[in-house]
Amino acid sequence: MGRERIHVLLIEDNPGDARLIQETLAGRDDRMFCLTWEGDLGRGLDCLAAAPIDVVLLDLSLPGTQGLDTLSRVLDRRDDVPVIVLTGLDDEALSVEAVRRGAQDYLVKGETGGPLLARAIRYAIQRKETQDELADANARLEEANRRLEELATTDDLTGLWNRRYFLDMLSREFQRVARTGASLAVVMIDVDHFKHVNDTCGHPFGDRVLCNVAHAMQQEARTVDLVARFGGEEFMILMPETDARRAAVAAERLRLNVADRAIEGGRQTVAVTISLGVASFDEALDPTVLLRHADDALYAAKEGGRNRTMVWTEVGPRHADDVGATALARTGPGGEAAP
């Protein structure tokens, strides 16, 4: 056990039963047990709260409280201390239920002499310690699993959702809108001339730029939007209940937000711009096609001079299986989606 003394709290209103337990523990040669006796539950609870108690011996039938309610009041006061209930010969069913409710063991009054009581006390303490250790281990495991799930779905640098999580949610949203006919749009974003920023200012400053863009995206996004880092300097926004035109207006606000930011690091101050491509569910057969449309729109924005927002249905496809789409809208620097 690794203990010099075991502090036992006996809550028992029958002086005869209490004296028997006192004599049993006091008569042991090892003198390991230090017993405190209280004759009613109130004083027992006060002692439990104030004194260093290792185990409680609890009579379930006390003045003013009976049965499992007695146990509940003790456990409510200190659930970290093991409890052994003391019952009469006819209360075995109650005793078993008490163990199910949190007691470590039960003993029948009159049968607590000899080594039985000492052994029950030691085992109760050992079981409680094992239970607490298992509970702590389970809590650590749950936290580790939560952290692993977070690492699996979150981008370490920016704190945004990562590519894996974005694609999973895109697939789910696509299935939903396919059933309901609701609107859905995606915005693909690329930081302009990011390689030049890394080459001239260094990768730590490049990381600062990415975090700055991520922060701007979070500022502009609605609660229902899903903002993710797709890879490198590329980001994505999933916009439920949004058509291409409204998504383009939101994308343009984001573009202007980023362009207005001066990013500082040490002695360096850099103005960064982004290019954005918008696509919507209306023209896509599946999530892969939707992403391809957004990529085509982004490509057109970069080809058109960067620092602009383009909508796929205006720029047209770059892939043969996309031929046949019609133009809807286009935005440029300082502009909004055309009606």
* Average predicted confidence (pLDDT) for the chain: 86
Question: Does pLDDT of 331 surpass 70?
Answer: no
Instruction: Report the alpha-carbon distance of residue 189 to residue 231 in Å, rounded.
Output: 11
Q: Which has more confidence, 116 or 227? A: 227
> Does pLDDT of 143 surpass 90?
no
Determine which of 23-37, 170-184, 247-261 has the lowest per-residue pLDDT on average: 23-37
Give the model's pLDDT for residue 338: 39
CA distance 25 to 6: 11
* 52 Cβ contact partners less than 8 Å away, ≥ 6 residues apart: 7
Provide the β-strand partners of residue 278.
Answer: 187, 311
Report the share of the chain in percent with pLDDT over 70: 88
Give the confidence band of 339 by pLDDT, cuts at 50, 70, 90. Answer: very low
The two three-digit tokens of residue 285, written as one number: 């057969």
Segment 288-294 shows an average pLDDT of 94
pLDDT at 319 exceeding the cut of 60: no
Q: Tell me, what's the pLDDT at 66?
A: 80
The pLDDT score that the predictor gives to residue 89 is 64
pLDDT at 327: 33
Return the number of other C-beta atoms located less than 10 Å from residue 145's C-beta.
10
Flag the least confident range among 85-99, 198-212, 273-287. 85-99
The predicted model scores a pTM of: 0.59
Active-site positions read 233
Ordered domains of the chain (ranges, CATH): 6-137 (3.40.50.2300), 163-322 (3.30.70.270)
For residue 115, the model assigns a pLDDT of: 79
Radius of gyration of the chain (CA): 35
Question: Would you say residue 330 has pLDDT above 60?
Answer: no
**pLDDT value for 329:** 35
Contacts of 146 (CB under 8 A, 6+ apart): none
Confidence of residue 3 (pLDDT cuts 50, 70, 90): low
The token duo for 126 is 């050992």
Cα diameter, the chain:
97
User: What are the strands of the beta sheet with 33-38, ordered from one edge?
Assistant: 33-38, 6-11, 55-59, 83-87, 105-108
What is the dihedral angle through the alpha carbons of 229, 230, 234, 239, rounded to the nearest 10 degrees? Answer: -80
